[in-house]
Amino acid sequence: MRKTFQLQVEGKQPDRVLDAVKHEIRKYIKRERWRELPAGADFWDFDCGFGLARDTAAPSHLGNLIAQIDEAAKSGANSFYVELLAKPGKRKPRDPGQAPEPDILDA
């Protein structure tokens, strides 16, 4: 997905437009994760980019994407550019000497 989203649409509330944009991005991610994985892949990973314009888009982490969208909306931006490209990912095996992370719920 490579798309420029408009935040200021005439006749629509900006908060509802922002919610619709976030919903569309989450829906795209969910749809891509349900695709069949190629042989040897464990999960779908995403290369993300975010910027106020296509030319100024910088690499970003998927977990920070919604926060960056909220920040752009609070700053009064009229639009922003999002780039999400799905790629197959392979998990790294855990080092045998490394103890697993303690579960917060067990404490």
Residue 39 lies in a domain: yes
| 56, two tokens | 């100024």
Rounded to the nearest integer, the mean pLDDT of the chain is 92
Q: What is the pLDDT of residues 1-41, one digit of tens each?
A: 999 999 999 999 999 999 999 999 999 999 999 999 999 99
What's the burial of 45, exposed, middle or buried (CB within 10 Å: 0-12/13-18/19+)? middle
Most distant CA pair in the chain, distance: 60
Per-residue DSSP letter, 103: P
Confidence of residue 103 (pLDDT cuts 50, 70, 90): low
Residue 30 lies in a domain: yes
Q: Residue 66: give the domain boundaries.
A: 2-89
What's the predicted TM-score (pTM) here?
0.82
Confidence of residue 51 (pLDDT cuts 50, 70, 90): very high
Total structural domains in the chain? 1
Residue 94 lies in a domain: no
Q: How far apart, in whole angstroms, are the C-alpha atoms of residue 79 and residue 14?
A: 11
